[in-house]
Chains A and B, each alone.
Chain A
């Protein structure tokens, strides 16, 4: 069965510092991978997605993620965060050919001025 693990529930980081939000998944088949962001009192917005091809995926707002099949990971990175990046970040995975999306428990990123 699929599962998604976001080990860090909260990540505080100073403004302009780099950040990495970790995501690991388990699945016996090929997967699609997603990162969503949720700003306070809003719905979820897609940051980036990996469907196939290059394992380094670039998304909106300067974020990128790298798919590592051997480590079953899809960590999200940004070289320099801004106050406006303070939000909840969700990793999600779906199996190729299936119409279902499994979410991690989320990581709350807090950028400190």
Chain B
């Protein structure tokens, strides 16, 4: 069974540009989570999507946005990039919340965004 896949693996942008990161969850999972892992700051929760809707949002500015598609894959968009947006962006998925759910997340390998 394929795990959570993320693309691209690496992305280099300049300040002011936009970045788009993509995530495909494990088959059967309908919830997708995005985390930012900047150097020395641990895991910061960004966004949670379930069944195509945004369910929760972390303490990030509106230029961080995303969406979830009907096949449950997801995009994270970061507009007006700033230097401090440089980080590893991790996507995770789990089963739909109506089912027995322990909260366990299954992570992808991440997309490393570098802003110059």
Q: Is there contact, CB below 8 Å, between A42 and B103?
A: no
Interface size bucket, A side?
20 to 34
Known: A42-B109, A43-B90, A44-B90. A106 touches B104 (CB 8 A): no
Which residue on chain A has the smallest CB distance to residue B6?
A43
Known: A42-B109, A43-B109, A105-B42. A99 touches B104 (CB 8 A): no
Q: Which of A46, A100, A101, A106 is close to B42, meaning CB atoms less than 8 Å apart? A: A106
Q: Is there contact, CB below 8 Å, between A44 and B107?
A: yes
Q: How many residues of B contact A (CB 8 A)?
A: 23
Chain A contacts for B50, CB-based, 8 A: 99
Q: Is there contact, CB below 8 Å, between B108 and A51?
A: no
Chain B contacts for A94, CB-based, 8 A: 102-104
Shortest CB-to-CB span from A79 to chain B, Å, is: 26
Q: Which of A34, A43, A46 is close to B108, meaning CB atoms less than 8 Å apart? A: A43
Q: List 28 A-B contacts (CB under 8 A).
A: A32-B102, A32-B103, A34-B103, A34-B104, A36-B107, A42-B109, A43-B90, A43-B108, A43-B109, A44-B92, A44-B105, A46-B106, A49-B102, A49-B104, A90-B42, A90-B43, A95-B103, A99-B31, A99-B97, A99-B103, A100-B48, A101-B104, A103-B42, A103-B45, A104-B42, A105-B42, A106-B42, A106-B43
